[in-house]
Copies of this chain bind each other. A is one copy, B any other.
Amino acid sequence: MKKIVLTGDRPTGPLHLGHYVGSLLNRVEMQEIHKQYVMIADIQALTDNFEDPMKVRRNIFEVVKDYISVGIDPSKTTIFLQSQIKEIAELTVFYMNLVTLGRLERNPTVKTEMKQKGFGDSIPVGFLCYPVSQAADITVVKAEIVPVGEDQLPMIEQTNEIVRKFNRLYNTECLKEAEAVLGKAKRLVGIDGAEKAGKSLGNAIFLSDDSDIVKSKVFSMYTDPNHLKVSDPGNIEGNVVFAYLDIFHNDKEEVEALKAHYQKGGLGDVAIKQILYKSLEKLLAPIREKRASVQDVDIYEIIGHGITETRKVTEHTIDEVKDAMSIMKW
């Protein structure tokens, strides 16, 4: 049976190959099976980009272009903008009465991110309440499935606590618990060998990179620093080129043969990089082509359509929620 899925991104930079294998491919599959919503979390993005709001605004368009380019189909997937759905703010305010300060301070995801961001004593309450606002994002479209990384599991647990508390308190079943689905998705290392490819880390290949940039990024990839001569045996552990070949090269047998050859000696870095570059180009060329065919005005329309579709659902949800709370409607 079709279920409602919610996923999304913060529009803080263009999407890269890490997103492609980590979430985009999954969404292209999901849209065939389920009713999928993809939320561009522009309000959330502003929380730590308030000094550069134009960056967020520009990246909304870049991110949606990336979606369309990889095959997310706006006739199947509803793409919407968090800032345009007032009902999310309304639910956030309602839910804030159902969650204690202590509970939020104990949320492991919040705790970890609070340390990472180094807020110290001056935590913005907006940041602390992030799990509450995420509960609003999820429940406003009545999402039943939320694809997440392992680190996000406590957030979904927090959402479901709120759902149960609300439904019990107001004797209703209008809110739905969501299931966190851990993706089978792979994590992609950075081209510099760092654990993660990140928008802001400067170590990612973007879906919108042109062919020359992809080439130069591939040729700058971290390999085996001790593999100095072609004839030397090379190490494939921690070798970024092989990590990418494992994921992006279609012929798995050829990859195994290349690995054996490289380990034995006689296969140079230039040669394997050339092979990887070709594999990536096979993937990226059609994405790039699709991207070039999409104008900003198309994106504007796609988002507008998604917002209209989403509002139909969220206005219904808020009506049900307010009914349950005995709030009249004027």
Quick one: closest B residue to A325, CB to CB?
A: B53
Q: How far is the CA of A161 from the CA of B325 in the complex (A)?
A: 32
Q: B87–A322 contact, CB under 8 A?
A: no
Residues of B within 8 A of A325 (CB): 46, 50, 53
Residues 78-122 of chain A: 1 if any B CB is under 8 Å from the residue's CB, otherwise 0?
000101101101101110111111101000000000000000011
Segment of A126-134, A144-152, A219-227 engaged in the interface with chain B: A126-134
Residues of B within 8 A of A303 (CB): 330
Residues 271-289 of A contacting B (Cβ, < 8 Å): none
Q: Which of B90, B96, B170 contacts A125 (CB 8 A)?
A: B96
State whether the Cβ of A328 lies closer than 8 Å to any Cβ in chain B. Answer: yes
Q: B133–A93 contact, CB under 8 A?
A: yes
Instruction: Place the interface of chain A in its size category.
Output: 35 or more
Residues of B within 8 A of A170 (CB): 50, 53
Q: B327–A304 contact, CB under 8 A?
A: no
Q: How far is the CB of A248 from chain B (nearest CB, A)?
A: 35
Residues of B within 8 A of A57 (CB): 326-328
Q: B102–A124 contact, CB under 8 A?
A: no
Residues 247-277 of chain A: 1 if any B CB is under 8 Å from the residue's CB, otherwise 0?
0000000000000000000000000000000
Residues 126-164 of A contacting B (Cβ, < 8 Å): 126-129, 132-133
State whether the Cβ of A243 lies closer than 8 Å to any Cβ in chain B. Answer: no
State whether the Cβ of A56 lies closer than 8 Å to any Cβ in chain B. Answer: yes
Q: A96–B46 contact, CB under 8 A?
A: no
Q: Which of B46, B89, B307 contacts A89 (CB 8 A)?
A: B89
State whether the Cβ of A169 lies closer than 8 Å to any Cβ in chain B. Answer: yes
Quick one: closest B residue to A121, CB to CB?
A: B102
Q: How far is the CB of A165 from chain B (nearest CB, A)?
A: 10
Q: 14 A–B contact pairs at CB < 8 A?
A: A43-B327, A46-B325, A50-B170, A50-B325, A53-B325, A57-B326, A84-B330, A89-B89, A92-B92, A93-B126, A101-B125, A102-B121, A102-B122, A304-B330
| Partner-B contacts on A (CB < 8 A) | 42-43, 46-47, 50-51, 53-54, 56-57, 60, 81, 83-84, 86-87, 89-90, 92-94, 96-102, 104, 121-129, 132-133, 169-170, 300, 303-304, 307, 322, 325-330
